[in-house]
Amino acid sequence: MDRVLLSLGHGYSARALARLLRPEGWRIIGTTRSAEKAEALAAEGVEPLVWPGSDLAPALAEATHLLSSVGPDAEGDPVLRQAGAAIAAAAPRLAWAGYLSTTGVYGDHRGGWVDEATPLAPATERGRRRVAAEQAWAGVPGLPLHIFRLAGIYGPGRSAFDRLRAGTARRIVKEGQVFSRIHVDDIAQVLAASMARPDPGAVYNLADDAPAPPQDVIACAAELLGVPAPPEIPFEAAELSPMAASFYSESKRVRNDRIEAELGVRLLYPDYRAGLRAIRAAGG
């Protein structure tokens, strides 16, 4: 049977998944908002669909699998708002559906551990929107939904190396602050593993094995580049934008046991050091 993935909001993580699936014979239809980005997707072997602005129903009729990487806005989930009826109509034909969410739904745990059973208690507006979006997707009747809660995403072209080269890297130190993160290639392999082993209703945390203070990641990248690390800046003196400050309002360590136990995934990059070394070795 043909395997056709309709990827809504075909961005950084979904493109990594497509690179994994296409050699296995998958057909990938990816939506994007601009004709320019559509050309870039076509060059990668993805069938581009400029959306919103075109009819999603024909692609949904062909899809066997559905992935949404589109984040919510102030009015809710834009995909369901614009195409909810078409998705509901297609739901019984789909073998798998995935929604990319965020570990921000757990809120602040003062550096403590969270897992998929931890009650959702978002501390930011972005987190609250994500909880509402998860619930909205779970409410689509008959949809074989899988929710993936992603920690901070990094990878080629989107890592501490890029911030160091751009001169925007800052080593902001807040006592007790830790973040979890995940390499984009590990996101791709978890999604592919889930598609091979559907379990509708499942929720998975996507994070590596080594939560760490953000300043340590910058220091590691600087060492690998052979450049001086930026000086440490106390959080209180950092003069952060409201968006940046909101990231520091939450501190938690994210458990990833379920992706190994249920999907058999072994992380390619179990900590940021391994991930950064691989990016550097590839010329990143």
How distant is the alpha carbon of residue 102 from its chain centre? Answer: 7
Which tops the pLDDT comparison, 36 or 79?
A: 79
Per-residue pLDDT at 158 exceeds 80: yes
Q: Tokens for 196? A: 């091979």
pLDDT in tens, 16-70: 999 999 999 999 999 999 888 999 999 999 999 999 988 999 999 999 999 999 9
Strand partners, 179: 212
Whose CA is closest to 65, among 200, 187, 189, 264?
A: 200
pLDDT, residue 247, reads 85
pLDDT at residue 1 tops 70: no
For the chain, the domains span: 4-153+183-207+255-268
- pLDDT tops 80 at residue 270: yes
* 104 or 284, higher pLDDT: 104
**263, 197 in Cβ contact below 8 A?**
yes
Record: fold of 4-153+183-207+255-268: Rossmann fold (3.40.50)
On whether the pTM is more than 0.75, the answer is yes
The per-residue pLDDT for range 193-228, each reduced to its tens digit, is 999 999 999 999 999 999 999 999 999 999 999 999
pLDDT of res. 54 = 87
Task: Output the average pLDDT for the chain.
Answer: 95
pLDDT of residue 53: 86
Query: pLDDT over 90 for what percent of the chain?
Result: 92
What's the confidence (pLDDT) of residue 113? 98
pLDDT for 62 equals 96
